[in-house]
A and B are shown apart, each in its own frame.
Chain A
Amino acid sequence: MVSEERFEFTQKAKKTLLIVLLAGIVLTALGYFTMGSGGHDAGHGESHDVEAVTDGHDEEPYGDGKEEHGAEAGGDHGGFKPIKRLFANIWINNVFFGGLAIIGVFFFAVQYAAQAGWSAGIKRIPLAFGSWLPIAFVLMIAMFFIAGHDIFHWTHESLYAEEGGDKIIKGKAAYFFWPLQGGEFPIFFVGRMVIFFAVWYLFFRQLRKLAFQEDIEGGSTTWYKMRSVSAFFLVFFAVSSSMAAWDWVMSIDTHWFSTMFGWYNFASWWVAGLALTLFIVIMLKDKGYLSIVNQNHVHDLGKFVFAFTIFWTYVWFSQFMLIYYAHIPEETVYFMERWKGHYAPVFYLNLILNFFFPFLVLMTRDSKRHARILKVVCPVVVFGHWLDFYLMVTPGTLGNNGSFGFLEMGLILVYFSAFLYVVLGSLAKAPLFAKNHPMLQESLHHHI
């Protein structure tokens, strides 16, 4: 019989994570204050030479069509406030790590809905991501009230004025303000945020409770119950994840819309979540945990990352291609801001990190089975998808003032260490895998 395994979240590991967190805060502060003094490029010239050339506050549009949504800017975006860059970056991380948290629960639910047996040994790792949900919620809603005006153009009341308002945004007012009038409290938007997180969290708690119960009782009764809970969760998740993407990311570029956006964001979260799961599995195995996980399970997770890398690219291209081909100005403006000019290097880097690199490296069977290669690919993919969200949020909030420096790096470190701290802490509370899982035998004999 398989014996129980418990992850021990050692003091040393906690200390390391806290040091990283502190380093992140210091870097963020450094980035913020050096930026405030006007020379924010000086500090990170070596880390991001591509942008150092084109970046700068004073060099406003070059006039090649990337005129930062001229009409949209209105009177609200007078001069550039350095704090906006901090807010925008916090928002990127809120969305990215909040998405990772729920995608972990999604992975867990999919395993039950699909009656998958191979994953019995690793399922609790993505499930632990869900512990970040309450924190993500608090950060997100607080950030919305603190920095809503800086991040979301549609929150400005003047847009909804009878005279001289913005016709397009007025048409979308109900999506944010219903049942109130445009420009009042965005009750529908905030309500959705609250409901999504509340329902996600309830499902997460329920699945976690059942998972532990399953472990103690054994048998298949709990398993069947979890399957139905998972199925209901998946239905809710399908709708809510799409709407969350529209709310939290797409509404930044209020005039623009894309019908692929929900899928696109889901794909980005999903690949990042799979890569992070795989990375944690490999790390735990290195530390001597997860004795029941072998190369075949790692291979399967690697195939997941490889396959959904292609899926992400497919969705990304489907969105890009139609807009590119149709050439309607209202739609192309979104890609003009990203593809040409200031963000062009990030645009290409995004494709390289999220498609070409994992696609070519993970193509062979061997690379998906060897921890050494996966240890490089997984962090790259996770960072690549962070960059994907960076590219979605930054042009709409910061225009040509966006950059990648100490501030961005610091905040990634802060969020990543905090996220890992919460996830590992949650992982340590229960055995790493359910020794009475009805499909554990199948997982043990998994061979591909």
Chain B
Amino acid sequence: MSQGTNYVLGVYEDEDVLMDAIKEVREKGVKIEEVYSPFPVHGIEDALGYKRSWLSVAAFMFGITGTSLALTMQIGMMGVDWPMIIGGKDFVPIPSFIPVTFEMTVLLAAFGMVGTFFGVSNLKPWGRPRIYDIRITDDKHVMAIDLDKNDLNEAEIKKIVDGSGASEVNNKTFE
């Protein structure tokens, strides 16, 4: 076996076969790392047993940060640093601050969410995304199984994947 991370890749032609295969493979005790497909397959995240993404929590946190930053900035400028009467309002007219606060909340939530997503998806500018099989961008579904994370050996896994309706079973190694 070569160095690096070793994967067994099951290539599937059809998403219905894939869905059944996911269930079958998982029932037989194989841990699937990820499934790649050229289009969204409905219900696949349930079949894979994914937990809910934490992205929304990240978005909320970034949003709250934006809210606090905007309020701190405005109150600091208009209420503490250089108080000015504008339009007969108080020094800290909260309603006047709402639009900026809202914008900052949305801005940071949006940027933060996109940044987080890019980060965890390894889409950083300096990141090198792993291409398991170039055909996943065209017409094939690929099920990637990390050998190191499975108790079963390679031959057993290949047999299970092959028996679940895969059209090909390949190996792939990343450095």
Contacts and interface: CB of A to CB of B under 8 A. Distances in A.
Contact of A324 (B42, B52, B56, B95): B95
Nearest to A318: B99
Given A327-B87, A327-B88, A321 B42 contact: no
B44 to A, nearest CB: 12
Contact of A321 (B60, B88, B89, B98): B98
Contacts of A317: 95, 98
A319 to B, nearest CB: 12
Contacts of A320: 95
- Interface residue tally of chain A, by bracket? under 10
B21 to A, nearest CB: 20
A325 B98 contact: no
A335 to B, nearest CB: 10
Interface residues of B, number: 13
Nearest to B46: A447
Contacts of A363: 60
Interface in A298-337: 317, 320-321, 324-325, 327
B96 interface: yes
B43 interface: yes
A447 B42 contact: yes
A325 B95 CA distance: 8
Interface string B24-52: 00000000000000000011000000001
Interface string B82-104: 00000111000101101100000
A325 B87 contact: yes
A324 B88 contact: no
Contacts of B99: 321
Given A324-B95, A327-B87, 14 more contacts: A317-B98, A320-B95, A321-B98, A324-B93, A324-B96, A325-B87, A325-B95, A327-B88, A327-B89, A363-B60, A365-B52, A365-B56, A447-B42, A447-B43
Q: Considering the complex of A and B, which 4 residue pairs feature the smallest CB-CB distances, nearest first? A: A324-B95, A327-B87, A327-B88, A321-B95
Interface of A: 317, 320-321, 324-325, 327, 363, 365, 447
21 contacts: A317-B95, A317-B98, A320-B95, A321-B95, A321-B96, A321-B98, A321-B99, A324-B93, A324-B95, A324-B96, A325-B87, A325-B95, A325-B96, A327-B87, A327-B88, A327-B89, A363-B60, A365-B52, A365-B56, A447-B42, A447-B43
